[in-house]
Amino acid sequence: DAGVIQSPRHEVTEMGQEVTLRCKPISGHNSLFWYRQTMMRGLELLIYFNNNVPIDDSGMPEDRFSAKMPNASFSTLKIQPSEPRDSAVYFCASSRDSPTYGYTFGSGTRLTVV
Amino acid sequence: DAKTTQPTSMDCAEGRAANLPCNHSTISGNEYVYWYRQIHSQGPQYIIHGLKNNETNEMASLIITEDRKSSTLILPHATLRDTAVYYCIVVPLGSGTYKYIFGTGTRLKVLA
């Protein structure tokens, strides 16, 4: 099992550019979560999906952020246009629909917007 | 969702037991207690969870008080690799997806 795979690991972009972060969940997991982590705000839940359907996007900071899950094996988080305050580590996690199992997190994407 | 309170930081000598407390005084009867840890620069890692009974696995033990208002995560023989931020989270039972809200956690430093 390769775990949750995120790409890229690091992204440096200029302010105003579009950024796309990618996530491949564990096969058989039907829930997917996007988190953002900064020193100031800690780990924040941005959005989560169940069976490819967005369930709660109340954590998405503003309209510049969007997330999609076109199928069970792929999700994207897009920021357009990016701003320096978007600099953070973005984590993707997946889980099964049961309290018996915890989340499995990916290694994260470190985004720097200059 | 119930909130949790954890000490900001703790130190532990290598080889000794690390006991990390968590207060969740407003926990409901249908909420689990989960523990995760985050080693620097990595994604959080699941450790253990429980409802009302004590639990043990290869990583740690979880002791939940009888009134369920607090719990303690025990790492029986801490090593330098256990240095991390430890998060205690309460999650409601029920069908469907379980949403985790992370607090600030306890920064555990294991000393040589």
Please give the residue of chain A at the shortest CA–CA distance from B35.
A102
pLDDT tens, B10-59?
A: 999 999 999 999 999 999 888 899 999 999 889 999 999 999 889 999 99
Contact list in B for residue A43 (CB cut-off 8 A) is 44, 87, 102
pLDDT at B99: 78
Q: What is the 3-state secondary structure (H, E, C) of chain B?
A: CCCCECCCEEEEECCCCEEEEEECCCCCCCEEEEEEEECCCCCCEEEEEECCCCEECCCCEEEECCCCCEEEEEECCCCHHHCEEEEEEEEECCCCCCCCCCCCCEEEEEEC
pLDDT tens, A43-66?
A: 999 999 999 999 999 999 889 999
Facing B34 at nearest CB: one of A42, A97, A102: A102
pLDDT at B95 over 80: no
